Amino acid sequence: MNFNIIRCARTVLHVTDLEASRKFYVDTLGFIETESDSGNLYLRGLEEHNHHSIHLKKAEKPAVEALGYKVASDADLDVLADFYTEKGYKTKWIEEGGQRALGRALRVQDISGLPIEYFAKMDHVERLLQRYDLYRGARVQRIDHFNCAVPDVQKAQDFYMNELGFACSEYTDTKEGQVWATWLHRKQNVHDQAFMNSVGPRVHHIGFWLPDPLALIHACDVLAASGYSKSIERGPGRHGLSNAFFLYLRDPDGHRIELYSGDYLTSDPDFKPIRWDIDDPMRQTFWGHAAPDSWFNEASTVLDVISGEEVPTKQPTLEKRKPEFII
């Protein structure tokens, strides 16, 4: 079955203090505030023509409500709904008007327990790519990918590739051939969706594309000058996997975001996935510096698409390794 899934396109994050989130995301990192009210904050990057790519929703506890994918047409939503329903997955329709700026949307609890959303329509707003007078902070351009911790990476990879039509750009495995982490894509770069072997389902981070490495370095200076130096968790650095220049941050509620620049084209049909051995330390940090324990152990809770309750986590199916070998 062919699903016209275009790309990762938005996320819905529960936060406890919208004003603290605004100071971090808008005033410091330079996201564009499209709209807000007493319970919601809608943000986007400078090149995005859709209404938002982050919906921050006020709640009592931090959590991830949805990871949203854009599909080609409204009819694709019906095809996806039939597919998931036939296979016995939890599904929930949000009718047009049920979410600000979106048409109707389908939410599903995927094979790993992650809350995935599909939508085709979103209100359009002014694209600010050449409004250089508005470039501030990290000069964030657009949402790029989701990275999720799941207990069985092989199962998640097989489902996304064999059933949903994702392609693999890079992966890490053991000498026994067990897949430890995988980078999957629908758009023509390294990934829209990554899975890593860990306690899950949880969301490890949401990645946002920057125009160049200098924007990332400038973001570090702005964060430090604004009193957010402790929000810098890891980096700046370069991954071996994806070849990307990276910086990992924790927002005021602990959600992890990655500021990301680099990677490469994956559009050729004869592109072969790149394998990394789990014992090669250069795959996670090309320059060799280690990540902190929090980067391996902490991630965001995800919610059930029907009940809205926290999804219970499971231990990974593969044996535990030293922290430096987790991804």
Confidence at residue 327, expressed as pLDDT on a 0 to 100 scale: 45
- Under CATH, domain 5-119 is a member of which superfamily? 2,3-Dihydroxybiphenyl 1,2-Dioxygenase, domain 1 (3.10.180.10)
Which secondary-structure segment (H or E) carries 155? helix 153-158
d(CA 150, CA 308): 19
Give the pLDDT score at 287. 80
Give residue for tokens 């391996």: 296
Distance CA 320, CA 307 (A): 32
Report residue 40 as tokens: 């919601």
Identify which of 1, 7, 42, 22 has the alpha carbon closest to the alpha carbon of residue 209. 7
Which pLDDT tens digit goes with each residue over 151-169?
A: 999 999 999 999 999 999 9
For the chain, the structural domain boundaries read 5-119, 135-325
CA distances from 265 to 99, 115, 187, 227, 271 (A): 33, 28, 9, 37, 9
Q: How many Cα atoms occupy the beta-carbon half-sphere of 115 within 13 Å? A: 26
Render pLDDT for 223-245 as a digit per residue (tens, 0 to 9): 999 999 999 999 999 987 888 99
Q: How confident is the model at residue 279 (pLDDT cuts 50, 70, 90)?
A: confident
Among candidate residues 142, 149, 274, 162, the one with its CA nearest the CA of residue 211: 142
Number of neighbours of residue 309 by Cβ within 10 angstroms = 9
Model confidence at 137: pLDDT above 80: yes
Buried b (16+ CB within 10 A) or exposed e, 209-243: bbbebebbebbbebbeeeebeebbbbbbbbbbbbe
**pLDDT tens across 32-63, in order?**
999 999 999 999 999 999 999 999 999 999 99
Average pLDDT estimate for 208-227:
97
What pLDDT, on a 0 to 100 scale, did the predictor assign at position 295?
A: 86
Helix, strand, coil percentages (3-state) for the chain, rounded to 5, are 20, 35, 45
pLDDT of 325:
40
> 304-308 long-range contacts, Cβ below 8 Å, gap at least 24?
304/90, 304/109, 304/115, 305/66, 305/90, 305/91, 305/92, 305/107, 305/108, 305/109, 305/115, 306/90, 306/92, 306/109, 308/65
Instruction: Give me the pLDDT at residue 282, please.
Output: 67
Predicted TM-score (pTM) of the model is: 0.95
What average pLDDT is seen over the chain?
94
pLDDT in tens, 70-89: 999 999 999 999 999 999 99
Which are the contacts of 222, defined by CB distance < 8 A and separation ≥ 6? 28, 29, 136, 137, 138
Which fold does the domain 135-325 belong to in CATH?
2,3-Dihydroxybiphenyl 1,2-Dioxygenase; domain 1 (3.10.180)
pLDDT of residue 321: 56
Residue 320 has pLDDT above 70, yes or no: no
Quick check: do 5-119 and 135-325 share a fold?
A: yes
Question: What pLDDT, on a 0 to 100 scale, did the predictor assign at position 288?
Answer: 73
- pLDDT tops 70 at residue 326: no
pLDDT at 211: 95
> Average pLDDT for residues 135-144, to the nearest whole number?
98
